């Protein structure tokens, strides 16, 4: 018989899930990367690597706004390169055989964003699969290089647009980075003019991350289950996150866990809160649960 001391409503909900856990076998673990899985040095800690390897019988899927190239070195460290990855917040889902699902932003929207940013200091980074293009190696490009350990290719935004139009492909993600006031103005304009086509996400006050309107981390997990894990359902998934783009995912899975450094909106909807990313929160709760 399980006996628990209840400290709060959130604690009560977790205790219920913990009791249910003894009767349920979770079949998939999905984790956001930045602010969730990585430590203060933006690296995987020894404890995190150890726990993921210990639980190698359960697929551990990286799910992020990052490009695939910025995720694969983490997979290698975790020893799970055979497991699918979800890049661009669900815009691109890959396994070892190639593309499972891909959703691109239309070039009409990309052209509009380029035009609206033309007379500003805003930096546009353009992404398609493992392609990353920047118009200049400025502060913003170097910041992302430091964060992701990936080098972009130098090419003007207009050149990239023309090439993609000729090749019949679009962006999986567009990143707008710059002065907070200019970013605010651009955000409001894009929200008004392209609300039905794109999803705008402010990961920082100086950033806008743009993806196709139809995708999210939740829809990506659902797609992954259908293609790769048909015997599993959402309630048999554990997910970790820290930011607004993780909310829908954490609410929909069986056990949505926030790291303690998550923003307030995420902390409110999480079924469980673990320690911060800097203190190995993901590793600690995996050790506790399994």
pLDDT averaged per 10 residues, the chain (length 290): 54 58 77 97 96 97 97 97 97 95 97 95 97 97 94 97 97 97 96 94 91 96 96 96 96 98 97 97 96
Order of strands across the sheet that contains 123-128 = 153-154, 131-134, 123-128, 173-177, 207-212, 198-201
Could you tell me the two tokens for 184? 């605010």
Q: Which CATH architecture has domain 107-212?
A: 2-Layer Sandwich (3.30)
- Asked, colleague to colleague, whether 9-102+216-289 and 107-212 share their fold, the answer is no
Angle at 177 between CA 173 and CA 183, to 5 degrees: 105
User: Helix, strand or coil for residue 44?
Assistant: coil
pLDDT at 204: 86
CATH number of 9-102+216-289: 3.40.50.1000
Domain positions in the chain are 9-102+216-289, 107-212
Closest by Cα among 134, 268, 105 to 200: 105
Contact between 81 and 75 (Cβ < 8 Å): yes
User: Helix, strand or coil for residue 196?
Assistant: coil
Give the integer Cα–Cα distance in Å for 241 and 49.
17
Contact between 87 and 64 (Cβ < 8 Å): yes
pLDDT at 225: 97
pLDDT at 151: 96
Give the integer Cα–Cα distance in Å for 184 and 206.
8
């Amino acid at each position: 018989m399980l006996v628990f001391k209840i400290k709060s409503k959130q604690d009560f909900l977790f205790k219920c899930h913990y009791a249910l856990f003894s009767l349920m076998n979770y079949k998939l673990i999905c984790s956001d990367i930045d602010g969730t899985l990585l430590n203060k040095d933006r690296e995987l800690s020894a404890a995190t690597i150890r726990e993921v390897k210990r639980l190698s019988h359960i697929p551990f899927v990286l799910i992020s706004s990052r490009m695939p190239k910025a995720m694969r070195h983490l997979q290698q460290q975790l020893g799970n390169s055979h497991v699918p990855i979800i890049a661009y917040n669900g815009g691109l889902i890959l396994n070892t055989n190639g593309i499972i699902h891909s959703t691109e932003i239309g070039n009409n929207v990309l052209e509009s964003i380029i035009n609206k940013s033309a007379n500003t200091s805003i930096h546009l980074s353009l992404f398609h699969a493992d392609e990353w293009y920047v118009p200049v190696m400025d502060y913003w490009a170097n910041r992302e290089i430091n964060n992701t350990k990936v080098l972009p290719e130098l090419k003007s935004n207009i050149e990239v647009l023309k090439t993609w139009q000729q090749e019949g492909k679009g962006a999986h993600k567009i990143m707008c980075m710059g002065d907070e006031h200019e970013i605010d103005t651009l955000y409001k304009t894009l929200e008004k003019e392209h609300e039905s086509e794109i999803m705008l996400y402010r990961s920082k006050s100086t950033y806008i991350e743009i993806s196709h309107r139809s995708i999210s981390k939740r829809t990506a997990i659902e797609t992954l289950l259908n293609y790769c894990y048909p015997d599993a359902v959402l309630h048999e998934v554990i997910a970790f996150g820290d930011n607004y783009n993780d909310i829908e995912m954490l609410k929909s899975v069986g056990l949505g866990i926030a790291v303690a450094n998550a923003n307030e909106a995420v902390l409110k909807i999480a079924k469980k809160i673990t320690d911060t990313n800097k203190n190995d929160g993901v590793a600690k709760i995996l050790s506790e649960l399994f």
